[in-house]
Amino acid sequence: MELIKRRRKGAQNSLARECAVRDYGASSIVCVCNSTYCDSLEPIEEDNISGGHYLHYVSSKAGRRLEMNVGTFKTEMNETVPTFTVDKETKYQEIFGFGAALTDSTALNIKNLSDTTTEVLLNTYFGKGGSNYLYLRVPMGACDFSTRYYSYDDVEGDTEWEHFDLIDNDYQFKVPIIKRASELRGETIKLFATPWSAPWWMKINGTTKGIAHLDEQYYQPWANYFLKYFDAFARQNISFWGVNPQNEPSQGYNYASTIPVMGWSPEAYTGWVADYLGPTLEKGGYGSLKLMILDDNRMWLPNWVNTVLANEKTNKYSSGIAIHWYTDSSSSDVALRQAHEAQPDKFLMYTEACNLVRVTREDLGDWEIGERYANSMMQAFNNWVVGWTDWNMALNEDGGPATFNDNPTVWGYNAAIIVNATGDEFYKQPPYYFQAHYSMFVPPGSVHIQLTYPNPGGLLHVAFLTPENNVVVILYNRNDQDIPTVISDPERGNISINIEARSINTVVYK
């Protein structure tokens, strides 16, 4: 298919390199990257956001991808259009940053590219002009995006972990990717670990998948397993920032599950963290890790917050609450605010998001899979969430590989980047750009600020103040019509812009 390097009429030099467009016939397009070419963003120049100027970046269903225009503030106000007023004095949560997951499948897909194209992909996430990612979620053993079921010690009865070891995928792929990501970013990537399942022989059903929970006789050995994991990476000169005790504990009660799972009730989880995991990490030298409870869907927030964090010891060991997005469309975002109000000293962080839709070549570039990110991210950051971690960084053209592919009724899932290893290229899909409209402009240490809106006119919205004192306003138009809009700053003046139909917009000024 023909590639088109697209520039919209009137667009400024917003990109160091522009999108190499490929249209597969879906509702929008993908941007193609290979060993010699990939679109990237120019760093913001101080002159462009000073002296009464602002920058307006837009990505749209029509095919724009982070296209930028430079504008100037005006003194007059158009009172007939939706107006958003920036209030820099009313501040909410500090932003930790953005990231994605380094699953077995992601590592394999990245390393299936040539060395040169691998470097381009890692730059796309961690380098200058890329997504500005800081966080990586690392599964502790097999997950749904692995090529097989395994743990780090499948020798039955080895409670002293004499056979514990990382696997080749860790040594050959994950360790180099983590180290290179840190080099590209210019600081240590913040890693947090999450297990999907204990070794099969420690569970009451004797298997990695299906309905099961941990046999209580292994509560202490399972806590020791975490120490072995962190020690193994420490020998590779890699340290972790955080840990989630269990991925989606509710999935361990799903009879139909074909992926590695392990169930915990809030009560059992509370006791294990309080009496085993927390003390073990502390005694083992890992007490500074940010322990995040839940790591499951928003619908479970009230019960888990009220049960787990009501325990004094578990509360002491816990730093935050990890949330997945899969029930966001059916559970109110009020739960986020209520969790913050109940535990204001615990941060809220989204740790997994993925469109559970089939990957086909004809659907590459589907705009709607990106729009779901806009809805959830707006809800999250307007309700005390401090960070956002996508699921797989990269999947193949079948949406895998995945452990659940032994089930012929299940297919692979979608991802922000799809890898075509045969062609030595990868495709940046709409979800990549929806997330980049946040991560590229809202660095760690930014603060969510008030954005008032007497008449939002159907636009979703959020605003931030960066450590450099830049104001960042993000607007999402989910309508099929353009919406003329004003952003008003009492100290600077008024920004009059047109918000294109079905578009995500980022406005930056000082």
Q: What is the dihedral of CA 214, 219, 222, 224, to 10 degrees?
A: 180
Q: Which of 18, 67, 352, 371 is an active site residue?
A: 352
User: What are residue 17's DSSP bridge partners?
Assistant: 40
Residue 504 sits at φ, ψ, to 5 deg, of -110, 135
Locate the DSSP E strands across 51-200: 53-60, 67-72, 83-94, 97-101, 135-139, 190-194
User: What are residue 509's DSSP bridge partners?
Assistant: 471
Beta pairing, strands 417-420 & 20-22: unpaired
Beta pairing, strands 347-352 & 385-392: parallel
DSSP secondary structure string for all residues of 325-350 = -TTTTTS-THHHHHHHHH-TTSEEEE
Name the one residue in this structure whose structure tokens are 């991560």.
439
Q: Which of 18, 248, 425, 500 is an active site residue?
A: 248
Helices (H) and strands (E) in the chain, counts: 12, 25
Q: How far apart are CA 265 and CA 434, in angstroms?
A: 35
Q: Give the H or E element holding residue 269.
A: helix 266-272
Q: How far apart are CA 173 and CA 177, in angstroms?
A: 6
Catalytic residue list contains 248: yes
Task: Kindly give, in sequence order, each residue whose CB lies less than 8 Å from that of residue 488, ignoring residues fewer than 6 positions away.
Answer: 77, 83, 84, 85, 86, 494, 495
Task: Kindly give, in sequence order, each residue whose CB lies less than 8 Å from that of residue 367, ignoring residues fewer than 6 positions away.
Answer: 26, 27, 28, 61, 430, 502
DSSP secondary structure string for all residues of 271-305 = HHIIIIIHHHHHHTT-TTSEEEEEEEEGGGHHHHH
136 touches 102 (CB < 8 A): yes
DSSP secondary structure string for all residues of 177-200 = HHHHHHHHHTS--EEEEE-S---G
Beta pairing, strands 83-94 & 483-489: parallel
Catalytic residue list contains 468: no
User: What are residue 5's DSSP bridge partners?
Assistant: 20
487 touches 82 (CB < 8 A): no
Task: Say whether the peptide bond before residue 43 is cis (omega within 30 degrees of 0).
Answer: no
The CA distances from residue 65 to 29, 59, 412, 442, in Å, are 10, 4, 26, 18
Q: Mind telling me the catalytic residues?
A: 248, 352
